[in-house]
Structure 1
């Protein structure tokens, strides 16, 4: 009888639940956080980590006082554990795929200011045609959305492109124009025919990516041309919070024109100059090529790419002046 190899022994003895605990630890960054995510007691989480380390014969997490960090072996284990998790999640989908059904879950990572009729129409049609499929939309900064796609933790991302991680393909979904706005309590609300230097020195609120070399670098350049200075008194990664600060009168800030059209019509915001030659920002549909997708992921991605290819860019430019 041949001796069983170490990898074969690990495959035979390893419990998926131990990997599940390890994933929670790696993502939460603490035993307490992992225990909360898994609805387990902290000693149970620590014991599971110990058993996993014994199984693989290596220390996976450095948990010295005040320190919680993956070891080199832990980083490798995290990559493989994510692949195992993805395979398990696809298992039921593969069974239904064999029966000709389009089922499965699609996780879409979204920047907070995605307003795109083309995307909404494709998503609605997809779910209407395939009632066995489900979708979750998770709002986050564009950098995080891209990282999730690159790590195979999100099916798709719709976001700005501050950088393009290796292994991620991006298609231009739409282009939006950014204007500058203030709220009702701001001294410039309702002002017309402002002098070119009227915005110089005004307090600014903006997005965290409003800086040179980042996703909203063109907005940064516009502020500099207007003499608005470098100091941003309030910032957020989410459009809703930037809009909140502008409406509250904290400062002048940039927002996509087509997103705030109703706010302008209802008098909650006031657009400030300039009105032409405004910064334009591209929003992309991002995905990882070669990924083994469940039927729902594959179908939705195919529909989105087909809609982009069939729609001229001129019809995907929003808020142009």
Structure 2
């Protein structure tokens, strides 16, 4: 090796040796979110900054590390081998920082503020319950207000910026709303113990064609549960809608009372099935899967408590998707 080559190798080694002295750790945090979201736009929404700011942070980090982190393929991109390794290291770093913050936590530094959360009724999710437990433990001075309402009203309130976030159904993307899937519900047909089909086994789907229905008000065409109406129409069902409500509890009550058959989320009626209050009807695989989303307005200015709430919830859902 020549003296010039030796000098260049020494300079390169010295540069990497002192990388930790000049590396902007905020850039690494931004890159971590880019890697987790696999999208510049979603990373910007999660960090509450512009896409341009995210792209500039990525460029600066690549310059500091002197390597390419992402490989662009049109609107999409993949992480380079170096990018994969940097992402792994970033995850380790921020995991350690989180544990350090919890260890040295000072009550005077707690996040303070109010979070207004809108939700549909009967959101049964162990993941959601665990998140609320951990969030309150980490930020006991944040006041949480939860109001139950219909999905359409939740979307309207978020568009009007009158709430922090919402948990509800969202059949079609909303221009101003970000959304992350919390859970998936499978809807199936049931009848109550007073209904003539109760207890009948091996029923063909055709046996339901003339039965009257209890219906959610949102299963009309264009509503969040419109796939239920589409299914009935496709199967040639001719029964009438004899009762309707926006409330799960009232739909359940009317089905048990024998008004007609109706669709309910499978996981919410296990106890009723066990207690003999309702009976599962065909088709055996259920009718349709419907997602429940965490939603918020990307254009809304958040207080510190709201920002921490949404970012913490997103991080949890991101881990669930991996």
Question: Structure 1 residue aligned with 2:269, among 235, 240, 260?
Answer: 260
**Contact preservation (8 Å) 1:147, 1:165:** no
- CA distance in 2: counterparts of 1:231 and 1:304, whole angstroms: 42
- CA distance in 2: counterparts of 1:230 and 1:100, whole angstroms: 61
Question: Structure 1 residue aligned with 2:165, among 140, 156, 174?
Answer: 156
**Residue equivalent to 1:100:** 109
- What does 1:207-226 align with in structure 2 at a 5 Å threshold? 207-226=216-235
- Listed as ranges, the gaps of 5+ residues in structure 2 are 1-107
**Residue equivalent to 1:116:** 125
- CA distance in 2: counterparts of 1:170 and 1:312, whole angstroms: 14
- CA distance in 2: counterparts of 1:277 and 1:262, whole angstroms: 18
Label 1:150 to 1:296 Cα distance change in 2 as closer, same or farther (>3 A). same
- Listed as ranges, the gaps of 5+ residues in structure 1 are 1-98, 314-321
Structure 1 residue 274 corresponds to structure 2 residue 283: yes
**Contact preservation (8 Å) 1:184, 1:269:** yes
Question: Structure 2 residue aligned with 1:186, among 195, 199, 202?
Answer: 195
**Contact preservation (8 Å) 1:182, 1:269:** yes
How far apart are residue 290 of structure 1 and its match?
4.1
**Residue equivalent to 2:298:** 289
How far apart are residue 225 of structure 1 and its match?
3.5
**Contact preservation (8 Å) 1:200, 1:226:** yes
SS of equivalent residue, structure 1 residue 283: strand
**Contact preservation (8 Å) 1:203, 1:228:** no
Question: What TM-score do you get using the length of structure 1 for normalisation?
Answer: 0.63
**Contact preservation (8 Å) 1:106, 1:155:** yes
SS of equivalent residue, structure 2 residue 232: helix
**Residue equivalent to 1:166:** 175
Label 1:230 to 1:159 Cα distance change in 2 as closer, same or farther (>3 A). farther
How far apart are residue 277 of structure 1 and its match?
5.3
**Residue equivalent to 1:249:** 258
Structure 1 residue 135 corresponds to structure 2 residue 144: yes
Question: What TM-score do you get using the length of structure 2 for normalisation?
Answer: 0.63
SS of equivalent residue, structure 2 residue 206: coil
- CA distance in 2: counterparts of 1:103 and 1:191, whole angstroms: 56
- CA distance in 1: counterparts of 2:147 and 2:237, whole angstroms: 33
- Which structure carries more helix by proportion? 2
SS of equivalent residue, structure 1 residue 192: coil
How far apart are residue 289 of structure 1 and its match?
1.5
- CA distance in 1: counterparts of 2:184 and 2:296, whole angstroms: 18
Deviates more, 1:246-255 or 1:213-222: 213-222
- CA distance in 1: counterparts of 2:168 and 2:184, whole angstroms: 11
How far apart are residue 226 of structure 1 and its match?
3.7
SS of equivalent residue, structure 2 residue 199: coil
- Structure whose CA Rg is larger: 2
Count of residues in correspondence between the two structures: 215
* Aligned-pair Cα RMSD in Å: 1.8
- CA distance in 1: counterparts of 2:305 and 2:272, whole angstroms: 36
How far apart are residue 171 of structure 1 and its match?
1.3
How far apart are residue 241 of structure 1 and its match?
0.8
**Contact preservation (8 Å) 2:186, 2:286:** no
Deviates more, 1:136-145 or 1:165-174: 165-174
SS of equivalent residue, structure 1 residue 209: helix
